[in-house]
Structure 1
């Protein structure tokens, strides 16, 4: 699972700056997710609404929309710019979301898509109550004031995309790397042979920008089904630890990176955590 990674150094940022930037991005990517949800066929795993990460342009990218002029919706996180890309990744149209509402973003996107022959109207996805609240949901404007924290998240997703892509390339039965608009996490799911307690066994490896469990970015590896007997838990590398409240998984918090400007500690954590999760499911 080890592979050379072009790692982007991530500096220190205040928790409040990271939280605000994360929530701004979480709401902004709903524009991208809505296009996939509305304009592409439903998939068994709901991946029609998922996003990917474009390493070359450092942007979130949605599903390919098979219109008369095929396109994708993309979001540049460090500038909060939503874009319509052609097949070559060239912007056909772009909107700076700074000082715009989410509703204004949807209005703009629907107008632009109508010019491309799209007849359906995009609307925000609906989620359970655990979707994080923010003033944007009540009509507040996006605000580009947290530019350094926004760039930090771009770097986190860029680093993680490389790490997970390397894992997928060498791991049988690993799903494509996807970003899920509900929890805004980037992950791959590795299906394992057999069942446990009647459930198919799998291991999820991913990255969360922060949530109710940890109010900061972190990497995680989760066995499924969660083990009933959680003692003893396998050892982990890279300052990782086992989370056992409400869910079971290995966690490496961004603030706990031993060497924040290198990929090796995160790679070591993911490798040992993946091995440990398989042991828990054996």
Structure 2
């Protein structure tokens, strides 16, 4: 899949919900393994994952041992895998037709074969009002039959990874790019230079595949602490400010220019990110030296 094949809008973005939920539950195997077997980090990034552009897969942190490995989920085929540091497959399980517990049992067995105690791997328990409900949580089986939708969702992550890499290059205080298991968003966090640990000023930049705020993929740029919403500046790229429960600049997939090709869509996203990050920094630090950065 090349960059020009991503985000073409062949599928209505508001029709991706069921496939998105399948993926959201599938990546919980990565988070569970990280939580059990990786040294804990204060920001919980040991439970997060990255996008591996070579495998076109979600990949977790490296598990140390005689045979180092990582857990991967290939979204298009909904395949759970153990891979070595060279991206070679150690073992894999197509999740189609499997329940969450069947996948977990398989994962524990395969990790145990590598000489690691896998019994402490358990699926993470997020607040029920802040994690999507789905029959998979109650014994239903994965369904990988909607390959087109899964491929479309993968394309959003491919594009997000590339565009966020550009953001990390532009802003030296930007964090690594992580995909978070709780909300399934891919994001970087820019910490403003004058921030102090007890009162950090940050700008979160990322892509959500959809959630309760928007039932479709959307880009966001969120300054924190949240600014006063009375005089929020205008934004490029047909974006707008979201102000209910959280404050951030938002560009939903449905706002992409109609009939535009993937390259034009990505230019629209890039314009949005550039304007929204500058606006967010100005809101947090009106007289910051950063106001001319980017």
Give me the TM-score of the superposition, normalised by structure 2: 0.90
Residues in 2 aligned to 1:57 and 1:238: alpha-carbon distance in whole angstroms: 31
Higher fraction of helix: 2
- Aligned partner of 2:292 in structure 1 is none
- Aligned match of 1:34: 32
Q: RMSD of aligned C-alpha atoms?
A: 1.5
Question: Once the 2 structures are TM-superposed, how far is the Cα of residue 277 of structure 1 from its aligned partner?
Answer: 0.4
CA distance in 2, matches of 1:24, 1:175: 28
Structure 1 residue runs of 4+, over 6 Å off? none
Moved more, 258-267 or 183-192: 258-267
Q: Which residue of 2 aligns with 1:49?
A: 47
Match of 2:118 in 1: 120
Tell whether the 8 Å contact from 1:20 to 1:146 is kept in structure 2 after alignment: no
Decide which moves more: 259-268 or 110-119: 259-268
SS of 2:164 mapped into structure 1? helix
2:19 paired with 1:18: no
Q: Does 1:6 align with 2:3?
A: yes
Shift of 1:174: 0.5
1:16 to 1:242, Cα distance in 2 relative to 1, 3 A: closer
Structure 1 residue matching 2:64: 3-state secondary structure: coil
CA distance in 2, matches of 1:156, 1:260: 14
Equivalent residue number for residue 273 of structure 2 = 270
* Residue number in structure 2 paired with 1:256: 255
> Any idea what SS the aligned residue of 1:194 has?
coil
User: How far did residue 62 of structure 1 move?
Assistant: 0.3
Q: Using the alignment, how far apart are the partners of 1:188 and 1:16 within structure 2?
A: 25
SS, match of residue 51 in structure 2: strand
1:15-65 deviations in Å (ceiling 9; x for gaps): 664010010000000011111111110001000000000111110000000
Give the match's secondary structure for 2:16.
Answer: helix
- TM alignment of 1:143-162, pairs within 5 A: 143-162=143-162
Counterpart in the other structure of 1:140: 140
In structure 1, the residue matched to 2:218 is: 218
Structure 1: stretches of 5+ with no match in the other structure: none
1:96 aligned residue? 94
> Structure 2: 5+ residue runs without aligned partners?
286-294
String of CA shifts for 1:164-220, please: whole Å, max 9, x gaps.
011102212110000000000000000013359x73100000000000000000000
TM-score normalised according to structure 1 size:
0.94
Query: How far is the alpha carbon of 1:126 from its aligned partner?
Result: 1.2
